[in-house]
Amino acid sequence: MKKRVLMLVICLAVAMSFAACKQAGSSDNKPTAAPAATNVPAEKATDAPTELPTEVPTEAPTEEPKPPVEAGMMVYYEDFSGYGDIDDTYDVTKALGWEILTVAIDNAQSDWTAQLAIKDDALVVTNFWEDTGTGGSDGYARIFDEMTMKRVEKFGSYTLQYDVTFKASYNYKRYLCFVTEYDAEGYNSYHFRIGGYGNNQTWYQGKWYTLDANDENDLYAARKKNSETGSTIAYKLLGIDEPMDENTHNNFESVKVTIRIQRLNGLATIYMKTVAMDDFIKVSEASEKSEDYGIEKNLYGLGVCFKVGGGINGIIDNIAIWTGTGEMPADKTITYVP
């Protein structure tokens, strides 16, 4: 019995001694906190996704507001001054910013054959060669496309005016003019011919449609001979009574004429005068009762072209386009923005 008690005391003493040693060792080996770093940014350890800096959206550049289209704004003006004399057709169109149209690329009705030059501040056109008696084909030079005229057309009215002086020609039907609403399918045109007559017409898909209105009071001159419902331009402007034929091809040779085309709500009214006349006279007005094929298709949008109507020579000057149907603005500065 005494022996068991002695063994129990010895075991208890050993256990207490081991526990004391363990506690002392644990206290001695306890790690100390690392001193705080100075001037070194601590990296933040985290499992959360790193937020990217927010980008400030860049605003798209805004266009300057376009001035509203009002009557009397110059859309185009060319008096051929400031270029000097230019003899080559390519150099002329490059200087003017015009584009000669072709059958292959632009689906024009025919390819360009005329020679252009700028001389004495005017455009000189040669498409008839008197020494051989031969004339070139119709040709089209685009001044600007439909995007330029879009806001003008929406405004509803504009005026196109130019001076033309015919020289030699292949026959009395030849002309130089400007056409509007041009595309590959058709265009609108006033064909004032050297013999002294002309028509307010539309070309569409291979056919001409005449829009001149008959007039009992003889206000319009869209005839090849005088009648009760109209007269010739030769009679109106020059007092010539003879009807148009092959012998009248020189009626307007070397006569400077100003042509004014007013387009209002898709219909054209034509006025003309010579340099000897004080005022314009009306020579044609489009009628919705004429043999048109569809006024709406005919008269909205598209571009403006200069057209050489076959074998003829002549001089073009003072081309102007302005909004509205009033008089040409005294200030020729271009104020219209496409």
User: What DSSP line would sit under 62-112, residue for residue?
Assistant: PPPPPPPP-TT-EEEEE--TTS--B--HHHHHHHHT-EE--HHHH--SS--
pLDDT at 301: 53
pTM of the model: 0.79
Model pLDDT for residues 2-42, shown as the tens digit of each residue: 444 444 434 444 445 444 444 444 444 444 444 444 444 44
Taking 90 as the threshold, does the pLDDT of residue 61 lie above it?
Answer: no
Q: CA-to-CA distance for 160 and 258, rounded, in angstroms?
A: 11
Mean pLDDT of 42-54: 52
Residue 49, pLDDT score: 53
Per the model's pLDDT, the better-predicted residue between 59 and 273 turns out to be 273
Domains delineated in the chain: 74-323 (2.60.120.560)
Whether pLDDT at 268 is above 80: yes
